[in-house]
Structure 1
Amino acid sequence: MTVPELTLKQVKETAKVKTFRASDFLTDEQIEEVHESNIRGRKQTSFNEIDAYIAEILARFGYDTYVAWKFGEISEENMAKFIKAERAREARNRLKIENIIVASVSGANNPTKTGHAPKSLKMATKMLKSEEKIAKGGE
């Protein structure tokens, strides 16, 4: 006895694949809860730019500097210069390793059929140039 030959049409008819969604496993109450949550939307962040600025002062310079700035012993202009200088110093340190990474990876990025460099390499180069600008003290 030989096994009857299977055709693609026969296999498609017999192999019906059932797909499941998350809602198939939830109760009606849970589905309603999801709908209500979607209506409310995402929560807004609980901090603003001022909070982020204060957090950066605390992280970079410590609590004593924050207190001195808060009580006016350090002017706002000076604090802004200190933060800008610290960001530039950090960018200079980061730039070394980023240059090494881009140089290592650029050898694997072959030109496209039209002879242009891939977009990923162009973006990496663009990012390096902006980091260099920051490292030199520019915005």
Structure 2
Amino acid sequence: MSWVANVMISVGMDDVGNVEALSQWLRTEAPRRAQPEVRGVGFLKPITDVESNPWGGWKHPECEVWAGALNHADLEGLRQRVFETPWREPNQVQLLVMDQEEGFFRLWMIRGDELRQFAPLEPNEEDESFYVGSIGFGR
């Protein structure tokens, strides 16, 4: 049985080496959530690589985005690893995680000396304050 977490990370162009190292860590060393002694949960692939998977539009992306579907990943361990990575441009790092049975991505960003979540813990479509600043759709 699997437990899938969809993961994307967006970084500045100078941090490709760090994302490659993160992907290798996920492949070979990352602990599993219920079995920390078992290592390896998957890997990330670049989705902004213009030659192999071009984005829409007429211009090239100005960031590097990598994505993967991880199996049984210890997501707290992943967040810790992202935070501890010596990023060249830490303020450009955006980690998006959608764990199994969740219907939305959670966004994590490095700000100062912490990795902060910049999304609601649980979106509540019944709460009108959730839509402050939203556009259209009768809200």
TM range (shorter): under 0.3
Which structure shows the bigger proportion of residues in strand conformation? 2
TM-score with structure 2 length normalisation?
A: 0.22
Q: Say which structure, 1 or 2, has more relative contact order (CA 8 Å, 6+ apart).
A: 2
Name which one, 1 or 2, has greater alpha-carbon Rg.
Answer: 1
